[in-house]
Chains A and B, each alone.
Chain A
Amino acid sequence: MTDSTTPQSKTRVKSASDQSKWSMVGKDPYQMPLEQIDLSHPGIWQANEYLPFLERLRKEDPVHYCADSAVGPYWSVLKYKDIMQVDTSPHIYSSEPTIGIVDQFSEFTLPMFIAMDPPKHDVQRRVVQPVVAPANLKILEALIRERVSRILDGLPVGEEFDWVESVSIELTTQMLATLFDFPFEDRYKLTYWSDVATAIPGAGVVDSYEERWQAMQECLQYFTRLWNERVNREGGNDLLSMLAQGEETRNMPPMEFLGNVLLLIVGGNDTTRNSISGGVLALNEYPEQYAKLRSDRSVIPNMVSEIIRWQTPLAYMRRTALVDTELGGKQIKAGDKVVMWYISGNRDEEVIEDANKFIIDRDKARQHLSFGFGIHRCMGNRLAEMQLRILWEEIMARFHFVEVVGEPQRVYSSFVKGFTSLPVKLHRH
């Protein structure tokens, strides 16, 4: 069994995905025994070959047991309705000890409320909810628009550049700095810590678990300093002040504090970042949808939901069965890992019509699984939607076409579904 320190990392695989014995890259999903299908390995995700595997499992084995993988045995849940059932039954399917597919070393465990069950989950979540609730977002909207505008106005027109670096990362990083009231000049640290927290050592960001742990310590120290500055200060609409001053959170142990800070950084970083990139790619792959957008910008809010469905920036969430139970006719035992593949449920034709098409004015576009459902439903969903809405409003005000001019590079992860680069060229109206 593999060993890992953060909930998001998958395996110890170091080099190119297809060199691993676990990789399914290049394999025909219909020419291998069902039981060998292992969605946890990052290979097919980076290679963008995952969809036919999901499709076969949805058809032939929608609650799928993988007995042998680099991360041990686990169940995969593929259908929308089964995912909904798992997500809304926290008394059967626990979020503890972790929501990543890999069990953690206890000495490196970072407690965070995404990986807690009620009642503790509810208490901690309630404290930080107001900062991303719409009432607070309304206050932030003008500032977000101003920052989005400045980023877009600084982009080169008519020449190739990387959309991921110049827009997706820049915008989400600025947004995080705003939400934490984090020193603006140090804001790239936030992106770094977020990347480190979900990195697989050896895959580019950090080389070892020790290096990652060291970066996490640095993050803890930085935030502890900010915490100390704010704990005795009155007010502050930022996440950190809310945590530091909240009755239920002010005496949080350091590791729990770090865990929740990282949760908010990762939650607000990779997800929106990759939906920003994914939207550009989807509109390029569906030019008639781009034309639709040009002819009617009022479709943007609906398009934002469709982009979030299409991208599904977090491919899955994991639960652990608390009791023996049944799902889709399969017997799940207490202690089993159960992985809800949101990315698959979002392509489930039984619930979503034409699920394999990107349709920006789709009916019921909001009913996607990307935010999860139930008590762990994404807390920042309205913030994410607002960022994407403002971004697309401001893009359309400036540019006729954000043209993808090269192959996107994808993240080596089965959890974070995203891009490391997306070469584009801008065209004015």
Chain B
Amino acid sequence: MVKIVFREHDGTEHVVDAKEGASVMLAAVTNGVPGIDADCGGACSCATCHVYVKEEWLDKLDAITPMEEAMLSLSSDRKDNSRLSCQIQVNANLDGLEVETPEFQY
């Protein structure tokens, strides 16, 4: 199991044990972490699992695909550390990963 820390917009923290191979989005949804809607169910096609990744973890993630970039670029709340959590696969290198959920998903 891999530890992932979700921080809500208001600061509320949720620490979950995530399964390797699953996505960070799924780790949130299956553990009842609020703030992630995942309307498309993990197909990288709605941008409602948007998270801000704590800077020191960014380099450990796979590169953003053109599809993810296309979806992220349409959000007004996009920042440099924005990712879609359905596109982050949980692995041992991400133990302790910290992400923040935005105030709104859309």
B96 to chain A, nearest CB (A): 30
Q: Using Cβ atoms and an 8 Å threshold, which residues of chain B touch A246?
A: none
| B103 & A134 in contact (Cβ 8 Å cutoff) | yes
A391 to chain B, nearest CB (A): 20
Closest residue on chain B to residue A366 by CB atoms: B39
| B104 & A135 in contact (Cβ 8 Å cutoff) | yes
A-B contact pairs, 21 of them (CB 8 A): A84-B45, A88-B43, A118-B70, A125-B74, A129-B74, A133-B76, A133-B104, A133-B106, A134-B103, A134-B104, A135-B76, A135-B77, A135-B103, A366-B38, A366-B48, A373-B46, A374-B70, A374-B71, A375-B71, A381-B106, A382-B106
Closest residue on chain B to residue A123 by CB atoms: B73
Give the complex CA separation of A377 and B106 in angstroms. Answer: 10
B34 contacts chain A at the CB level, 8 A cutoff: no
Q: Using Cβ atoms and an 8 Å threshold, which residues of chain A touch B44?
A: 88
Give the complex CA separation of A134 and B106 in angstroms. Answer: 7
Q: Using Cβ atoms and an 8 Å threshold, which residues of chain B touch A126?
A: 73-74, 76
Which 7 A/B pairs are nearest by Cβ-Cβ distance? A134-B104, A373-B45, A88-B45, A366-B39, A374-B45, A130-B76, A382-B106
Residue in B37, B75, B106 with the greatest tally of chain A CB atoms within 10 Å: B106
Across the interface, A122 reaches (CB within 8 A) one of B41, B73, B76, namely B73
Closest residue on chain A to residue B102 by CB atoms: A134
| B104 & A377 in contact (Cβ 8 Å cutoff) | no
Give the complex CA separation of A382 and B44 in angstroms. Answer: 18
B63 contacts chain A at the CB level, 8 A cutoff: no
Q: Using Cβ atoms and an 8 Å threshold, which residues of chain B touch A373?
A: 40, 43, 45-46
Chain A residues with CB under 8 Å of chain B are: 84, 87-88, 118, 122, 125-126, 129-130, 133-135, 364, 366-367, 371, 373-375, 377, 381-382
Q: Using Cβ atoms and an 8 Å threshold, which residues of chain B touch A375?
A: 70-71, 74
Give the complex CA separation of A375 and B77 in angstroms. Answer: 16
Q: Using Cβ atoms and an 8 Å threshold, which residues of chain B touch A134?
A: 103-104, 106
Give the complex CA separation of A99 and B30 in angstroms. Answer: 36
Give the complex CA separation of A125 and B74 in angstroms. Answer: 7
Residue in A125, A129, A367, A381 with the greatest tally of chain B CB atoms within 10 Å: A367
Across the interface, B70 reaches (CB within 8 A) one of A122, A129, A366, namely A122
| B39 & A367 in contact (Cβ 8 Å cutoff) | yes
Give the complex CA separation of A326 and B39 in angstroms. Answer: 26
Q: Using Cβ atoms and an 8 Å threshold, which residues of chain B touch A122?
A: 70, 73-74
| A364 & B41 in contact (Cβ 8 Å cutoff) | yes
Considering only residues 37-63 of chain B, those with a C-beta below 8 Å from chain A are: 37-41, 43-48
B67 contacts chain A at the CB level, 8 A cutoff: yes
Give the complex CA separation of A375 and B47 in angstroms. Answer: 10
Give the complex CA separation of A367 and B45 in angstroms. Answer: 11
Q: Using Cβ atoms and an 8 Å threshold, which residues of chain A touch B76?
A: 126, 129-130, 133, 135
Q: Using Cβ atoms and an 8 Å threshold, which residues of chain A touch B67?
A: 88
Q: Using Cβ atoms and an 8 Å threshold, which residues of chain B touch A135?
A: 76-77, 103-104
| B104 & A382 in contact (Cβ 8 Å cutoff) | yes
Closest residue on chain B to residue A383 by CB atoms: B106
Give the complex CA separation of A133 and B78 in angstroms. Answer: 12
A42 to chain B, nearest CB (A): 29
B65 to chain A, nearest CB (A): 12
Q: Using Cβ atoms and an 8 Å threshold, which residues of chain A touch B73?
A: 122, 126
Across the interface, A87 reaches (CB within 8 A) one of B45, B74, B75, B106, namely B45
Give the complex CA separation of A268 and B42 in angstroms. Answer: 27
Give the complex CA separation of A130 and B76 in angstroms. Answer: 6
| B77 & A367 in contact (Cβ 8 Å cutoff) | no
Give the complex CA separation of A88 and B65 in angstroms. Answer: 13
Give the complex CA separation of A133 and B75 in angstroms. Answer: 9
Q: Using Cβ atoms and an 8 Å threshold, which residues of chain A touch B47?
A: 377
